[in-house]
Structure 1
Amino acid sequence: MSETLHTRRLLRRETHSSRAVASVTAAVVLLVVLAWLGTEAILSLLGQPALVANPPTLLQWVAGLPQTTLPWGLVAAGAGLALVGLLVLLVAVTPGTKALHVVGHERAAVVIDSEVVAAAVSRRTRQEAGLDPDQVSTRVDRRRITVDVRPTSGSPLDERLLQAAVEKELAGYGIRPEPGVRINIRNEGALGI
């Protein structure tokens, strides 16, 4: 199945979140700080009282900071700024993903929500094991589907059988890339009906 460039772009756009909110937030914060500094500079040049601190006073405060602050305070402030910088860098570099999966289809770009996959996998697991809806829960992320099963007391479950059933269900959807499946059968059971 060959995809056109247009289809690949469309699928990528649908499954990855935009960085527009983070970019706009960073730009607005930077613009507010620069506007404040510019306003303070203009007020200082006109001889008017400062809004918060005039530039000469602010520069003297920054220059005297190493002498007036305890060393551990400077270290803590530097570490905090480094963490903020690292967070901003990670937001900029890492891909933002949505809870969506691409489904292989020859004629169309198809995207399916993770909650839909989780509900279908839970239903299939319940049918295979003969369980109530509250005995099976499923978590779906980008690379893994985790199914938590709480068996009925006194009725052991075959993990391999459930694993095969879930994998067969997923194979029918054609999710790309196909996520791994993990079945967790809990030790404590539920009361039977």
Structure 2
Amino acid sequence: MNPRQQRSAARRLTHRSRSASVIVALVGVVVGGGWIATEAVVAALGYPALLLSPSAMVEILRDQPAVTGAVAVALALVGIVLIVLALSPARKARHVLADERSVVVIDDVVLAGALSRAAASAARVPGAQVRTALGRRSAQVSVTPLSGFPLAVDAITAAVDETLTAAQPSRRVAARVAITPRGTVTA
């Protein structure tokens, strides 16, 4: 697999497809346009309207400003939603790991779990005492100490950094370790 194919495969695996929103938008445009076109043809042939004739539509929009405003607001909201869907990155919660032969993608939950286990092991606390929030380029590891047992932040940070180095994400992930100010009572 050449580098271009690897980048393409990695992008497909780490980003959501926008085809569902495009399909919904196009079906809405086709149904709405088809209905208006059908009403226009039916009115041109002199038959009664199926739902609402084009002239009645124009009269309602012209004579009732509340309806016109409601239609304008609805269309504006649909437009804003479509613009947001088009411009948002649609990134999935995944990281690409460095590998020369193939594309390796790991879910953020798995990587956060590995960081939490490494921090818990280095801090000698139960796994429930560690929380990890993983972003695109950062990891925030929060450790709650057991009351009466001080934690070595340097050792925890070294363990988390070692785990990140072993995972080799293709983009650098900066880890920050924070110790919560209040500990929990040991049983």
The aligned runs of 1:42-121 (5 Å cut-off) are 42-65=41-64, 68-69=65-66, 74=69, 81-121=75-115
2:7 partner letter? R
1:177 partner letter? R
Distance 1:187 1:9, change over 3 A: same
Unaligned runs of 5+ in 1: none
The aligned runs of 1:174-193 (5 Å cut-off) are 174-193=168-187
> Aligned residues: percent identity?
34
2:53 partner letter? N
Give the aligned partner of residue 131 of structure 2. 137
1:123 partner letter? R
- Shift of residue 55 of structure 1? 0.6
Distance 1:184 1:83, change over 3 A: farther
Alpha-carbon distance in structure 2 between the residues aligned to 1:17 and 1:108 = 20
Give the aligned partner of residue 6 of structure 1. 5
Alpha-carbon distance in structure 1 between the residues aligned to 2:72 and 2:157 = 50
- Shift of residue 182 of structure 1? 2.6
1:172 partner letter? A
User: After superposition, what is the alpha-carbon deviation per residue over 1:129-172, rounded to whole angstroms, capped at 9, x for unaligned?
Assistant: 11112111222232222222221122232334322221111011
Distance 1:45 1:77, change over 3 A: closer
TM-score by length of 1: 0.83
Distance 1:79 1:132, change over 3 A: same
Q: Please identify, of 79-88 and 28-37, the stretch whose mean Cα deviation from structure 2 is larger.
A: 79-88
Give the aligned partner of residue 169 of structure 1. 163
- Shift of residue 22 of structure 1? 1.2
Misfit runs of 4+, over 6 Å: none
TM-score by length of 2: 0.86
Alpha-carbon distance in structure 2 between the residues aligned to 1:29 and 1:174 = 45
User: After superposition, what is the alpha-carbon deviation per residue over 1:89-119, rounded to whole angstroms, capped at 9, x for unaligned?
Assistant: 2211232111211111122221111111011
Say which SS state the counterpart of residue 176 (structure 1) adopts: coil
> What is the Cα-based RMSD across aligned positions, in Å?
2.4
Distance 1:24 1:134, change over 3 A: same
